[in-house]
Structure 1
Amino acid sequence: MESDVIVLGAGIIGVSAAIHLARRGRQVVLIDRRPPGEETSFGNAGLIQREGVVPYGFPQQFGLLMRYALNKRVDASFHWRALPSQAAFLARYWWHSNAGRHQKISAAYAPLIAHSISEHADLIAAAGAGNLIARNGWQEVFRSQAVMDAEFAEAERLQKRHGVSHRQLSAQDLARGEPFMSGPFVGGLHWSDPWSVRDPHALTMAYIGYFEKLGGRFVTGDAASLSADGSGWRVQTADGPVSARDAVIALGPWSDMVTRRLGYRFPLGVKRGYHMHYRPENGATLNNWTLDKETGYLLAPMNRGIRLTTGAEFTGRDAPKTPVQLDRAEAVARRIFPLGERLDPEPWMGARPCTPDMMPIIGKAPRHAGLWFGFGHAHHGLTLGPVTGRLLAEAMTGEAVLMDISAYAPERFRP
């Protein structure tokens, strides 16, 4: 089988890249070891975070770091045995999160986030997936006045600098908006611009349907078999070998399994996360995606039920599941919302691919012709899938690129 482009990875990043390449007349084969959207893209919070212009940094305050070291929190957990192998990545992550460096990173990151809604809107309309989308933002709720005041001030700063809209919520506003939610909340913050996805996997599958209408093809295959083939690339699939002039690596947390074999040493880490769905009790309704800010979990009204998502777990990508954060979060969440029975047979777990400078790797491979990278999107894979796909397709086809992507170039890590 011959094609113009091989895209490795059928999560939201790879699918979006495949669509944009197919739109430009390229014959595209999308390859993954599993059906589309069943890895990291399956288990996110379902937020297209237009407000997320500041990437999640590593805590800098000594007191907060000491509290994290107790390893009893909901928003972050770690495996002691994994720390030696994680130390180099975490040290670089901490270094980049220094206030001055983090501010510069945020300035480079914000233009990418600015296109998140518009680029999703394009694909949602083309894929006929509007029924999966809620367009009423999402909210954070606060347990203390000090945290609320600090978050209000930050929201004002983001609105002035980046045009991110928000609304301050009193405790009475929360009670009116979420009558089935209770708790010691002093108020909240409603981010107005983001969109929410009621079923992230269904959205990926809608995009796959659109990709196939454009003439694209998905096949099951082994990304690790990628090899140079004359002036192009070859991958082994269930349908036989596939050859193409260009290849895109969009394998999320597994990207380094391929890039390392080609001589690249990207400092790619992972933050694992869990989710579970619940049936609400006694006809209770959750009206909006809600983050319990100071505890560190999120409740989302998904099509399957109320989805509870956890923060970050730091351990090896392939380590066995240890959903202690989910159990901790569930115990707290049951005190503020009437969650009923669990609907999933076991907790879902996924791994977010992260770089120490909190920005994705997007662009041409420095030492190989026809090889392109699109991975490392951390918490914002769903948010940045379509814009990343467009940027890659424009760069690969020689078009004028929507925005400058030099800040995300692979060369910044001297791979």
Structure 2
Amino acid sequence: MAELKTDVLVLGAGMVGVGAALHLQQRGRDVILVDKHELAGEETSFGNAGLIECGSVFPYMFPRALKDILRHATNRAPQVRYQFSDLPSFLPWLVRYYLASAPDRALRGALAVMPLIRRSLIEHEALIAEAGVPELLRRSGWIKMFRHDATLANAVREFQRARQYGVQGDILDHKAIIEREPHLAGEFAGAIHFTEPGFVLDPGGLAKAYAALFQRKGGRFVVGDAKTLEQDAGGRWQVATSDGKVSAREAVVALGPWSDLVFGRLGYSIPLNVKRGYHLHLKPRGNAVLNHPVLDSDLGYALAPMNRGIRLATGVEFARRDAPPTPIQLERALPRAHALFPLGEAVDAKPWKGARPCLPDMLPVIGRAPRHAGLWFDFGHHHHGLTLGPVTGRLLAEMMTGETPFADPNPFAVERFG
């Protein structure tokens, strides 16, 4: 079988990899997209709340207040869970996460990623129009609800701070919440309606639509094993696929939580960890309608109106990436969600489990691999893979093709980890 040749191999067909492939293709590069699945968007990109978070300026950082740290440490916070037996494996990473969450460092990170966040919906809208799937996007924003006066007050302070950076939204009292979502039940101190973000009704379907666009424009999508990536004597990158060996002048590692399977073999020590999460789709009962994604913030779960049903999504589980599922957060959230909104029977046979790829500073790694010519990184998008996939694809493609990057790429360089 003859060897397939191309300009660039993009490893990983989630939202990040497909975004990079499309932007490289737009700049005249011949690209082959490689994934272990026959379809795009089958892993992390499949399961999320569907938000294109163009209004989320500040990353999800480690709590600083002692009482919050103690609640998380003792597994009393519904937003986060871990198993004590796994603690030794991720405690060093948590320490780095805590240190990177110091207010001054967190602000620097927020300012660095802000140009990407603010452009994220623009990039999606352009691709959605080109892919011909406008029905997958809503521009209604999302609602973050609070059951307690104290948590609402803290959130309002954070929101007022974010407004200084252009974030838009409305502060709602209980009556205003019910006006926007008449089928919700329960007592809430108030909420914040973030009005700017887009909402995707089928995140995995959107990744597939982008991959189909890539193929219509001449791109090739092959099933392959990214772990076989190697550089030959001539400096070309090769990977084994179902179509035989594929080689290219350059390769992009966009494997999300599995990126370590490639960069680790190549000698890079990058503190990539995962935050696992779960979701389950349920039917609405009767004529009940959910108009926006809603986060029951104090109880640590979200409901989002997807094409498949109402998606119940959990917070964070710290666990080994490939450990068996432990959907305790989802089980605890189910009765709370039923009390909030008229939910019927489950659509899915079992809960979905995924892993968010995270670096301690909650910034992705984007850019050149410093010790290998022609190797590039694009991973670690934490909670914002859906949001940032196309815009970081643009930034990477500009760097790879010699254009002036639209944003400063230096804060995302792998060298920041030594």
Instruction: Spell out the pairing of 1:374-385 with structure 2 (5 A cutoff).
Output: 374-385=378-389
Instruction: Spell out the pairing of 1:2-401 with structure 2 (5 A cutoff).
Output: 2-34=5-37, 35-160=39-164, 162-229=165-232, 230-401=234-405
After TM superposition, the structure 1 stretch with the greater mean CA deviation from structure 2, 331-340 or 376-385, is 331-340
Q: Distance in 2 between matches of 1:64 and 1:4?
A: 49
Match of 2:247, SS? strand
Q: Distance in 1 between matches of 2:170 and 2:65?
A: 28
Q: CA deviation at 1:159?
A: 1.3
Q: Distance in 1 between matches of 2:398 and 2:218?
A: 19
Could you report, residue by residue, the CA deviation over 1:215-257 in whole angstroms, capped at 9, with x for unpaired residues?
Answer: 1010000000000022210000000000100000000000011
Q: Distance in 1 between matches of 2:51 and 2:118?
A: 14
Do the aligned partners of 1:74 and 1:326 also contact (CA within 8 Å) in 2?
no
Match of 2:407, SS? coil
Do the aligned partners of 2:174 and 2:187 also contact (CA within 8 Å) in 1?
no
Match of 1:399, SS? coil
> TM-score by structure 2 length?
0.97
Q: Which amino acid aligns with 2:286?
A: N
Q: Distance in 1 between matches of 2:107 and 2:402?
A: 32
Q: Distance in 2 between matches of 1:74 and 1:330?
A: 12
Match of 2:353, SS? strand
Q: Distance in 1 between matches of 2:40 and 2:208?
A: 7
Do the aligned partners of 2:56 and 2:167 also contact (CA within 8 Å) in 1?
no
Q: Distance in 2 between matches of 1:104 and 1:399?
A: 25
Q: Which amino acid aligns with 1:401?
A: P
Do the aligned partners of 1:29 and 1:218 also contact (CA within 8 Å) in 2?
yes
Q: Distance in 2 between matches of 1:68 and 1:243?
A: 46
Match of 2:323, SS? coil
Sequence identity percentage: 53
Q: Distance in 2 between matches of 1:79 and 1:315?
A: 7
Match of 1:294, SS? helix
Could you report, residue by residue, the CA deviation over 1:77-96 in whole angstroms, capped at 9, with x for unpaired residues?
Answer: 00111110111111100111
Q: CA deviation at 1:109?
A: 2.1
2:412 to 404, 408, 412: 408
Q: Distance in 2 between matches of 1:253 and 1:204?
A: 17
Match of 2:355, SS? strand
Q: Distance in 1 between matches of 2:152 and 2:360?
A: 28
Match of 1:182, SS? coil
Q: Distance in 2 between matches of 1:297 and 1:242?
A: 43
> TM-score by structure 1 length?
0.98
Could you report, residue by residue, the CA deviation over 1:37-71 in whole angstroms, capped at 9, with x for unpaired residues?
Answer: 10000001100001111000111211112212222
Q: Distance in 1 between matches of 2:166 and 2:77?
A: 33
Could you report, residue by residue, the CA deviation over 1:333-383 in whole angstroms, capped at 9, with x for unpaired residues?
Answer: 111111111110000000000000110000000011100000000000000
Do the aligned partners of 2:112 and 2:408 also contact (CA within 8 Å) in 1?
no
Q: Distance in 2 between matches of 1:264 and 1:250?
A: 15
Q: Give 5+ residue unaligned stretches, structure 2.
A: none
Q: CA deviation at 1:153?
A: 2.2
Do the aligned partners of 1:23 and 1:214 also contact (CA within 8 Å) in 2?
no
Q: Distance in 2 between matches of 1:87 and 1:146?
A: 30
Q: CA deviation at 1:293?
A: 1.2
Match of 1:334, SS? helix
Q: Distance in 2 between matches of 1:21 and 1:283?
A: 45
Q: Give 5+ residue unaligned stretches, structure 1.
A: none
Q: Which amino acid aligns with 1:317?
A: R
Q: CA deviation at 1:72?
A: 4.0
